[in-house]
Structure 1
């Protein structure tokens, strides 16, 4: 009888242990499932600020992991079209956002692409286009008008990169684009970070970038473009219709307009618009 009682007690103990282990395993699985990974596609010029803001947000919302994909806006748009998972898109120009937003009409969205949740779309930030030179400034370039005559090599963004589009418009308005292009004086970067590197390392005599990227690269601008030169540099942001977590994406977008996030954007020279 005593032996039988011992077996019963051991069985109960083992069963309880297994139940406890199963409960812990179930709890862990539940916690893992509750973690949301937001895929945020953003222009490369937002790298430093968004990395900092993502850290702040994740500290407040540990159940949300921000996965940043930073590249040129044109590259990001192509990735979205090709089916890459994206919850929130922040472009460095209206063009790439428009081409994914069916509500803007056929003129701006000729392919009729319908990815953007237009109800969430906002103009988030404004940047400035500036002229930068390497340390020493051997060509003594101090303004955009001197580029064609005094620079041997100019660093610009590619045509599919917003900073490249702003740069071409600026140089067209100055009447020197064809001269520079035909003389082989232009070297192109696939995004704005590559342009700042070409200037910082002295490969190019000057370059056209955003003010925030000049700041991040430790380059002092020698000239700043006016609105009549290349228009305003606006960064639109929107949640995509293909988002797996639209509610969480909207919450993070709202956080990007908070005082905490705005302070980070302003620290490098962005001008918040919301």
Structure 2
């Protein structure tokens, strides 16, 4: 009889062990802003070493492009945006509660993709004015850029209007009273579909300067000649959240929790991000 109970207990423990590893082999698809490519890749490698049963698959692009892909039904477990606007457009609850003083952040047609109680502000970045090696155009700050653009003396690279870094640039233009349409017609602007494309234009010296994130400038080894203040373009906050249709919600939440740990924060801080989680 005692032997029978031992067999039953052994079988029960075996089944419990199998149940405990049911999420081993889980694959998480993370859609993240292009400016996070280097840091999130490193964080992901660290996480997978600590959690060998989880595979992280990253899709890095502009937040606007990622948002559209999610709306069109792409498989995604976690979304990390470089701006609140793109996250709000997927988060009906948040969009309806947006401060009336910031109507440009509102999303009239927001859809309900975001899992409740998973969204948080992960980090803050800075918008930077950068120049190629040697700074041949002699750009020193945003004030000097304004004068040079109005005189037609420089070529500036910026993000498209549906890209967060481009939207921050548009706010800088508004702050300095610059007319983007007029500047574009004058041929002093070039565009990139994400911040990496803008960064590449500056790195290759095909433009005189560019407006990107401070962290991308750090990763690319570019010279920052000025940094935008909150008055110029607002705070650059990156929200993160799990998607309602995540196939592994528990694993998605576990990775989001990891992003808020000191270990992940150290990787973010190393390139200039300010962790907020």
The two structures have a TM-score, normalised by structure 1, of 0.86
1:85 aligns to what SS in structure 2? coil
1:241 aligns to what SS in structure 2? coil
* Alpha-carbon distance between aligned partners in 1 of 2:243 and 2:220, rounded to the nearest angstrom: 31
Q: Write out aligned runs for 1:193-232 (5 A).
A: 193-232=196-235
* Alpha-carbon distance between aligned partners in 1 of 2:268 and 2:95, rounded to the nearest angstrom: 31
* Alpha-carbon distance between aligned partners in 1 of 2:49 and 2:141, rounded to the nearest angstrom: 44
TM-superposed CA distance for 1:33, in Å, is 8.1
Q: In 2 relative to 1, CA 34–132 (structure 1 residues): closer, same or farther, beyond 3 Å? A: same
* Alpha-carbon distance between aligned partners in 1 of 2:109 and 2:165, rounded to the nearest angstrom: 23
1:115 counterpart (113, 116, 136): 113
Question: Which residue in 1 is equivalent to 2:276?
Answer: 273
Instruction: Give the conservation status (yes or no) of the 8 Å contact 1:168–1:177.
Output: no
Q: What is the aligned residue count?
A: 244
Question: Which residue in 2 is equivalent to 1:169?
Answer: 171
* Alpha-carbon distance between aligned partners in 2 of 1:47 and 1:268, rounded to the nearest angstrom: 12
* Alpha-carbon distance between aligned partners in 2 of 1:96 and 1:90, rounded to the nearest angstrom: 10
* Alpha-carbon distance between aligned partners in 2 of 1:76 and 1:113, rounded to the nearest angstrom: 14
Structure 1: stretches of 5+ with no match in the other structure: 1-30
Question: Which residue in 2 is equivalent to 1:58?
Answer: 48
1:137 counterpart (111, 132, 135): 135
Question: Which residue in 1 is equivalent to 2:187?
Answer: 184
Matched, 1:259 2:262: yes
Instruction: Give the conservation status (yes or no) of the 8 Å contact 1:101–1:114.
Output: yes
1:73 counterpart (56, 63, 72): 63
1:264 aligns to what SS in structure 2? helix
Question: Which residue in 2 is equivalent to 1:236?
Answer: 239
* Alpha-carbon distance between aligned partners in 2 of 1:223 and 1:127, rounded to the nearest angstrom: 14
Instruction: Give the conservation status (yes or no) of the 8 Å contact 1:129–1:208.
Output: yes
1:53 aligns to what SS in structure 2? helix
TM-superposed CA distance for 1:184, in Å, is 1.8
The two structures have a TM-score, normalised by structure 2, of 0.85
The 10-residue stretch of structure 1 (81-90 or 99-108) with the greater mean CA deviation from structure 2: 99-108
1:34 aligns to what SS in structure 2? coil
* Alpha-carbon distance between aligned partners in 1 of 2:29 and 2:73, rounded to the nearest angstrom: 13
CA RMSD of aligned residues (A): 1.5
TM-superposed CA distance for 1:114, in Å, is 0.3
Question: Which residue in 2 is equivalent to 1:18?
Answer: none
Instruction: Give the conservation status (yes or no) of the 8 Å contact 1:142–1:223.
Output: yes
* Alpha-carbon distance between aligned partners in 1 of 2:39 and 2:223, rounded to the nearest angstrom: 19
Question: Which residue in 2 is equivalent to 1:4?
Answer: none
TM-superposed CA distance for 1:110, in Å, is 1.5
Matched, 1:84 2:74: yes
Deviation per CA, 1:208-253, whole angstroms, max 9, x where unpaired? 0000000000012000000000000000000010101011000000
* Alpha-carbon distance between aligned partners in 1 of 2:128 and 2:110, rounded to the nearest angstrom: 34
TM-superposed CA distance for 1:149, in Å, is 3.3
1:152 counterpart (147, 151, 154): 154
The 10-residue stretch of structure 1 (104-113 or 222-231) with the greater mean CA deviation from structure 2: 104-113
Structure 2: stretches of 5+ with no match in the other structure: 1-20, 97-102
